[in-house]
Amino acid sequence: MLLKDKVVIVTGGSRGIGRAIAVACAREGADVAINYWGDNDASYGRRSAVEEVLAEIAALGRRGLAVEGNVAARETGAELVRRTVEAFGRVDVLASNAGICPFHAFLDMPAEVLETTVAVNLNGAFFVTQAA
Q: Each residue of 106-128: pLDDT tens digit?
A: 899 999 999 999 999 999 999 99
Domain coordinates of the chain in residue numbers? 7-131
How far from 95 is each of 21, 46, 61, CA to CA, in Å?
8, 28, 21
φ and ψ at residue 9, rounded to 5 degrees: -105, 135
Q: How many CB atoms lie within 10 A of CB 9?
A: 30
Average pLDDT, the chain: 93
> Low-confidence residues of the chain, pLDDT below 50?
none
pTM of the model: 0.91
Domain 7-131 class? alpha beta
